[in-house]
A and B are shown apart, each in its own frame.
Chain A
């Protein structure tokens, strides 16, 4: 498992950089395809016990114990799916072969970092892999070396450095308090009730620092300053990765993992509910006022991450399972929307929604998949986003916060409003002047779009089966 998810992508990057550039250029895309498809299929088709006992020489060399879980499986599949889509979009957007090659390498390195985050069972190991994800993301954002790209990367570097300081300080304090950084030991230390009053206060301070660091990484309001600039100024192929999975793996998934397995959040948390609501509201209102397609999607991400946070804050089965399910669903439909943004940008030369319009006749597949994605984001049945939001709302209601649940439902209508506005301005209505010659994107943008749209639809339709076979086992997290 570790061989496949960590060592092989790394070795592929090293080998590709040693090969003659022409051959490496040609191979990098197909290597990435093979790795993402094999990773995804492996997780979906093998039992979790084979993660422990299968052929895995690197695991022995690194002396790294892994703990299989359904939560990890959800993340591995999401990572594979988003990286798969980003490979296609990179191939579609970058005309320069050299740029394509660099992008593919960075995708693989970022994938190694994200897989490492999911495997981690130790706070320091987690920190190391979070930094790998952050460093590869900086480079991806600044890849085109435009002024906006460098500014976006700089903001990300700056806020990420603050997050690093918070997380490292927290790790040091937890180590002082518990004498270990292993998840299991830290959880036992924090929840056993054996700490005296001073040490308990110290531990609480450490947990707050860690959560604040993860809030920055996850782009949760009011720590979201870097996110809209980074998403909108990065090359769109990199935005697919950032918007689709990076903030979720580095921020939200880690928060869910630590809240459940380390910090032991077993009571409804007003802090998480409050920050979640703030993110939902600020993200939704800000998205409504945007005219840049990618920036609108960035604010929409902030809003959707808010739903995941309130689900986690409810600390009951419905809420947490809904939050995990929404991590996956949001990865799928947000990636799809960014793939569509890439198609629109490449074909029309702009992402300014005021200069677009009527594209659905010229780009029917992009237009249709975009409708599916935004309906799913807004939580319209029977698409996948509806079910995860339903579980989250039920969880929040059950946790004794009906007001939060009602506001979350109302703000979901805001999601529908800003996406309808986007759809009308970009795809519906009269064709904008100067776009008469525009054509549908080629297969490199359509393949990931169709795959993601099918997943959005199918997951929604098979939800009852999914609930019984896959989502209910997630209950064991609590």
Chain B
């Protein structure tokens, strides 16, 4: 079994992705948690890029690592959560969280390694009927126009939710100031 340089970088990125995801879950500070999530997305983008889908990598990087992190950080700055360090040992809590959350990524890593070892048995997506692969533009605009519209509606619902669920808080905060 030989590992190509590409595979090697994918493994490194996957390991870093798993670690930053664990950090996101274990962090006691919500801001650090959001940054951990952003970092996870960055490593995922690298994996997607190395797997040969640069456009998907750019989407992942710009939307998940970029836009969503901005939304998270804005929301965190709005609510200013209190720290949880009072009266409890931080190290102890981290250990407890590690015990609680480590099994899932470990299982996923093991499953991933097993799949990679047996990858010759995995089905490969059949080529398009006419033989010529579609460009991203054709896929997004001709084949998946309704999905784009659906995602626009989804964003509208999300924005509506943020306005509805945070507006009263902001109003209260405004009147208190």
Contacts and interface: CB of A to CB of B under 8 A. Distances in A.
A470 interface: no
A295 B158 CA distance: 28
Contacts of B174: none
Contacts of A448: none
Contact of A198 (B122, B146, B151, B161): B122
Given A129-B150, A176-B123, A199-B123, A135 B158 contact: yes
B151 A128 contact: yes
Given A62-B145, A132-B154, A139 B160 contact: yes
Interface string A107-129: 00100110010000000110011
Q: How large is the interface on A (under 10, 10 to 19, 20 to 34, 35 or more residues)?
A: 35 or more
Contacts of B164: 102, 106, 139, 143
Given A62-B145, A116-B150, A129-B150, A136 B122 contact: no
A8 to B, nearest CB: 13
Contacts of A124: 144, 147
Contacts of B149: 62
B153 A198 contact: no
A297 B147 CA distance: 35
B159 to A, nearest CB: 10
Nearest to A137: B157
Contacts of B157: 109, 113, 132, 135-136, 139
A129 B150 CA distance: 6
Instruction: Give me the 6 closest cross-chain CB pairs, A-B, nearest first.
Output: A128-B150, A179-B126, A139-B161, A199-B123, A198-B121, A64-B146
Interface residues of B, number: 26
A57 B24 CA distance: 46
A469 interface: no
Interface in A1-39: 10, 13
A183 interface: no
A138 interface: yes
A145 B154 contact: no
A131 interface: yes
A104 B116 CA distance: 49
Given A10-B153, A62-B145, A109-B157, 14 more contacts: A10-B156, A61-B145, A63-B145, A109-B156, A113-B157, A116-B153, A129-B150, A132-B150, A132-B154, A135-B158, A139-B157, A176-B125, A198-B121, A202-B122
A105 interface: yes
A174 B164 CA distance: 37
A142 interface: yes
Chain B contact residues: helix, strand, loop or mixed: helix
Contacts, number: 74
A125 B156 contact: no
Nearest to B143: A63
A132 to B, nearest CB: 5
Chain A contact residues: helix, strand, loop or mixed: helix
A198 B123 contact: yes
B168 interface: yes
Nearest to A135: B157
B160 A106 contact: yes
Contacts of B122: 176, 198, 202
B160 A128 contact: no
A96 to B, nearest CB: 11
B124 interface: yes
A63 B153 contact: no
Nearest to A195: B123
22 contacts: A62-B146, A63-B145, A105-B160, A106-B164, A113-B157, A116-B150, A116-B153, A125-B150, A128-B154, A129-B150, A132-B150, A135-B154, A135-B158, A136-B157, A143-B164, A145-B168, A176-B122, A178-B126, A179-B125, A195-B123, A198-B121, A199-B123
B118 to A, nearest CB: 9
Interface in A137-153: 138-139, 142-143, 145
A177 interface: yes
Contacts of A109: 153, 156-157, 160
Interface in B78-137: 121-128
A59 to B, nearest CB: 10
Contacts of B1: none
